Structure 1
């Protein structure tokens, strides 16, 4: 086996882009909670999130290797670049790194980390094949990166909860759209995802409705006077991108789920902008 291809396979298994992005979201949670006075805690929280996300990606690919052989044969395990046992061991090392970083943080942050780890391990074996339940678990895990970042510096503020809700709802919508994209492989594996059980169009209608509610709720920090015009100027196009992309899932699920993800990060930037103007003022 070519060592270069194997190394590339392990790197791809971790999805470094996703891991770094998750770490960035944790930083946003810390910043929104006013945590710049605790830089060491922020660093450990970011490392814990990035390592746990990478580990979760590896675990997911380990358990999904037969499904991926149909839906995504180029991924590291079905393509033969990474052995299944190697992927499991790799995930274990990454989880150890995440744990070592998390134990340095306050009890609330550590509690969130433990809950997330249990949810992550149970996701593929227990929740993934249940209609909508697996989507909700992934949505929580994504949104909780903001809660974890805030807890690492000592507090969960109102804007942090709003950010959690917006990110979780956007992720739920994206996961439903992805399930529509993956119907063929999921049906072959006997999974009971929402599009398979309820139908593709009803599932997409639910995702669009949920996104619309989240977009309306994102106005709360502005209406309450917590954040000002800078926040509104960024969150409105973010909401428009996420809502429009979810609706686009009826035509092109693959493109839609990518744009929902981009909209989520734009929404996170809105909270950064809102918090930054408060700090400057």
Structure 2
């Protein structure tokens, strides 16, 4: 029983859920969510439970690939049955839907699109070269957009959503390179399998270069203060180095890249706080 409960918690990837909820709250804060505490909280809860459900669905469909790439995950090691993972995902999706219904119409629409995308990602899009990466990139970027919509000002976070999406695309390509062995055995046509690992990494690097090039825009437009520019410069440097590192060590690179993305989100928070102050 203890291993089963532990396995259910592991299905959710609590760190990812908390991070996704925090990114949604960040989007709401950047959008100027003063006096919108309840919608912000509901949006963060919606995001966290939707991500948990999506991770459980992903593990269900990826159970044979994980037996090769990640045998310590709950389903391959026998802690949770495939049917149990689906049942758990259903409950978490229900909680996400219940939290979302009190939000503004645009936020509900974004949540509905994202829930469908989460369910269909592994079963339909994951094995399509580049498309699966683009879908995950959209989902991460949309967490900020969702927070902005919950706060009633989605336009304020469009640049943030775009930057998050571009950088996430790069990290997803790096992760695909790391997982080539299991994906090839399962017959998936991911980007590195379709075009080659180095070519895929170059495509990912190009997306990041675009993100870095446009990252100063919120400061130049006056939306965010100078503190944003200082922190985002560090984030850009971390992600650029991780992308360079991915050509020799994709596993280490994708972990380092994650730190860069959190730094970038922090840059928006401190930049917004400086303007408010």
Given the alignment of the two structures, is residue 255 of structure 1 paired with residue 252 of structure 2, yes or no? yes
Q: How many matched pairs?
A: 277
- What 5-or-longer segments of structure 1 have no aligned partner? none
Partner residue in 2 for 1:113 = 111
Q: Kindly state the Cα deviation for residue 68 of structure 1 after the two structures are TM-superposed.
A: 0.3
Which one of the candidate residues 157, 177, 180 is aligned to 1:180? 177
Runs of 4+ more than 4 Å apart:
none
Q: Kindly state the Cα deviation for residue 228 of structure 1 after the two structures are TM-superposed.
A: 2.2
Is this contact kept in 2: 1:54–1:91, CA < 8 A? Answer: yes
Q: Alpha carbon RMSD of aligned pairs, Å? A: 0.7
Partner residue in 1 for 2:61 = 63
- What 5-or-longer segments of structure 2 have no aligned partner? none
Counterparts in 2 of 1:150-169, with a 5 A limit?
Answer: 150-158=148-156, 160-169=157-166
Is this contact kept in 2: 1:204–1:247, CA < 8 A? Answer: no
Alpha-carbon distance between aligned partners in 2 of 1:228 and 1:81, rounded to the nearest angstrom: 48
Is this contact kept in 2: 1:128–1:134, CA < 8 A? Answer: yes
Alpha-carbon distance between aligned partners in 2 of 1:14 and 1:36, rounded to the nearest angstrom: 30
Alpha-carbon distance between aligned partners in 2 of 1:244 and 1:228, rounded to the nearest angstrom: 25
TM-score by length of 1: 0.97
Q: Kindly state the Cα deviation for residue 120 of structure 1 after the two structures are TM-superposed.
A: 1.1
Which one of the candidate residues 105, 130, 135 is aligned to 1:137? 135
Alpha-carbon distance between aligned partners in 1 of 2:270 and 2:53, rounded to the nearest angstrom: 31
Given the alignment of the two structures, is residue 226 of structure 1 paired with residue 223 of structure 2, yes or no? yes
Given the alignment of the two structures, is residue 205 of structure 1 paired with residue 173 of structure 2, yes or no? no
Partner residue in 2 for 1:214 = 211
Alpha-carbon distance between aligned partners in 2 of 1:227 and 1:150, rounded to the nearest angstrom: 15
TM-score by length of 2: 0.99
Alpha-carbon distance between aligned partners in 2 of 1:259 and 1:176, rounded to the nearest angstrom: 14
Alpha-carbon distance between aligned partners in 2 of 1:25 and 1:8, rounded to the nearest angstrom: 25
